[in-house]
Structure 1
């Protein structure tokens, strides 16, 4: 069945992979984006008659009100993403990540579907050795995490919504980001052949960007049985510390050297491991491994020679 889908922030890192795949499935997709990074990530789909694009702001209530009524599905990807960027623009973070989503939930009818990406950084600092499930208490420690958790609360308060709590995303995309942990470490391994680790024992979970799109497509196809719930989305075999991640990269880049700094702090303090059993029980399994993603990034970094591909 073909659906009319509105994707806010659809020209960003996630959207640049997701939008083409939604179009391949035969859906009609409208992207609303302010193109704040000057990206041209959706050039290849402009030829598709089912694709529309609007330059605008997700906080523009008049614009959003006109758009929402024409769509069956809303996927709000628009956000200021990552602790450093959010710390630099606190007002923009609150109004974009939280307030615009709350406004959206008030505009939607009960029949309209919403699929929302949240971050599993909302778990903050987990209990050592204990997997965080969707029932674990949320304890975000960054403004980014707090606004996403508050947005999720509004999204799940309506019946026709799914929240995907994404692990740290990695992998190549038309709108690339180098500031994500795996992407960053592999870039340093390729270009500098070295990295200094602060608080290298901090753990987190990871997921390939193409598996994020696959999770959203899975949610669309199984909406009636999955709606009203939050789902962790990550690689169950990739709950790794930063040090363990470096060892994985070193397997493919033997000359990569990493040192643990005895002093200094990581500005991103989250430290947790995650269970993905809930979404796996619905029939979803990731397809792209961390090993494959590292190999993909190594190839891609032979093309990228500067750091304009980041959020900060």
Structure 2
């Protein structure tokens, strides 16, 4: 039975935010090629205003009660009061066991239910101050792309919503399925929730793109490459390279390369029968103990448990 994703369409919904879960979840497939998700756009009214056009959602709010995952896209005016019937539907979906996620200013709608009280959450950095002031019981973090609190996930604005949805696909179906969904969306899969919102994209004439270096690193995750070797490949000093890397990716070279190695380990665990020790070596770790510890810290479970959940033979 398909995993139902209910996408809440409120009046004044941000069109881009509304489209993200529809595209990402709508194109994700299980290993046998069948759609894993059943995406249902649920409107608070028969017709929803979405900036330059109107949307006629095929489902009403009552459909949210059967959702396994409820996604709340951003709205144009986050300070506008939310109808009590909407808040009640979200609360009932949560009580029924649904996973609830918000994109951008959708965090204001989620916070209005009280479900974010005592939890860490994020939203677009421009609105983070308003969210913190309006809901002081929420621990607002304006510096991350998304925050995963288990059954409650919040993301920053725009492309961060794409990062969050791909992250949820990876949680549900594994690294290979998330990578496939990212390729369909022509989006990177190498940004995790801990990366900063404040990624600067400078003009090409002043900042050379590090894309060729990143591709080279992905092809050489099994090699013992330090920042000095990366900087030489980029033709920069270590200090300049580290600064440009932070500007263009939002994280450090060391952390990015560690995440790339862990993702290589995920792919190997999903697709083959090699031992965990062999996977560790193929992923660039000289010590299987270090691999296991790093894997658990970044993914949340150990390599053996991950294989049991996502292996091709499952």
Same fold? TM cut 0.5? no
Q: TM-score, normalised by structure 2?
A: 0.38
Larger radius of gyration: 2
Q: TM-score, normalised by structure 1?
A: 0.38
